[in-house]
C-alpha cells in the first residue's frame, strides 16, 4: 500500500525505514514528565459523587439571595410582574417536590441523609418565603371577611392620597 506522501505530512506511526512503530516502544516527547499520581478511581468517584450531591442539596439555598432581591424589587402592588415573580417563586419549589423521588435518588454517600434534609428544608423555606410575599401583597385570605360573606370588611383608619391636601 503506497500512500501518496505529501511534502508537509508526517507519519509518526512509521520509522525512517518505513517499518511500523508501536506506541509502547515510542519514546516520550521531549519535556514529558509523568506527574499524575495513581489514584484509585473508586475513591475519586466517591468524592466526586459526594461533591455533586452537596451541590444539588445546596442549590435552592444558592438561589435564595437572588430571589429575595427580585421579590424586593417587584414591590407589594398587585400587578402582573409581582404576581408572576411570586408565582414562579412558589411554583419552582413545588415542581421540585413533585419530582422529589428522582432527585433524592441522586444523593449517595455517607452524608446522604443530611443532604436530603438540607434539600427538603431549603425548598420548604423557599415556599414559605413565597407565601410570606403573597401575604404582604394581600393575596392570601387571612381575615374572617375573606371567608364569610356576612362579616364586614375592616374599615381603613387612615387614607393617604397624592401630594395635595384633601379638604
pLDDT, one tens digit per residue, over 23-39 is: 677 777 788 777 766 66
| DSSP 8-state symbol, 39 | -
Q: State the residue range of the domain holding 101.
A: 43-139
Domain assignment of residue 144, yes or no? no
Domain assignment of residue 152, yes or no? no
Cα separation, 26 vs 156, in Å, equals 89
Domain assignment of residue 97, yes or no? yes
- Buried (b) or exposed (e) across 100-125, using 16+ Cβ within 10 A? eeebeeebebeebeebbebbbebbee
Tally the domains of the chain: 1
Domain assignment of residue 35, yes or no? no
Please tell me the pTM assigned to this model.
0.60
pLDDT tens, residue by residue, 56-105:
888 889 989 998 998 898 888 888 888 888 888 889 888 888 887 777 77
Instruction: Check residues 90 and 12 and name the one with the higher pLDDT.
Output: 90
CA angle centred on 108, ends 107 and 114, rounded to 5°: 65
Domain assignment of residue 155, yes or no? no
Domain assignment of residue 3, yes or no? no
Residue with grid cell 404582604, as numbered in its chain:
136
Residue-level pLDDT at 142: 81
Domain assignment of residue 56, yes or no? yes
Domain assignment of residue 157, yes or no? no
Amino acid at each position: 500500500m503506497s500512500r501518496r506522501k505529501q511534502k508537509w505530512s508526517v507519519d509518526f506511526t512509521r520509522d525512517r525505514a518505513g517499518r511500523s512503530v508501536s506506541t509502547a516502544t515510542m519514546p516520550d516527547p521531549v519535556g514529558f514528565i509523568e506527574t499524575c499520581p495513581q489514584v484509585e478511581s473508586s475513591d475519586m468517584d466517591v468524592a466526586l459523587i459526594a461533591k455533586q450531591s452537596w451541590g444539588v442539596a445546596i442549590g435552592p439555598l444558592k438561589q435564595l439571595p437572588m430571589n429575595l432581591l427580585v421579590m424586593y424589587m417587584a414591590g407589594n402592588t398587585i400587578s402582573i410582574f409581582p404576581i408572576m415573580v411570586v408565582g414562579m417563586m412558589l411554583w419552582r419549589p413545588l415542581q421540585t417536590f413533585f419530582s422529589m423521588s428522582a432527585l433524592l435518588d441522586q444523593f449517595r454517600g455517607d452524608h446522604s441523609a443530611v443532604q436530603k434534609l438540607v434539600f427538603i428544608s431549603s425548598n420548604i423555606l423557599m415556599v414559605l418565603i413565597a407565601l410570606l410575599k403573597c401575604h404582604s401583597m394581600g393575596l392570601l385570605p387571612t381575615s374572617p371577611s375573606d371567608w364569610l360573606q356576612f362579616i364586614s370588611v375592616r374599615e381603613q383608619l387612615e387614607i393617604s392620597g397624592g401630594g395635595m391636601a384633601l379638604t
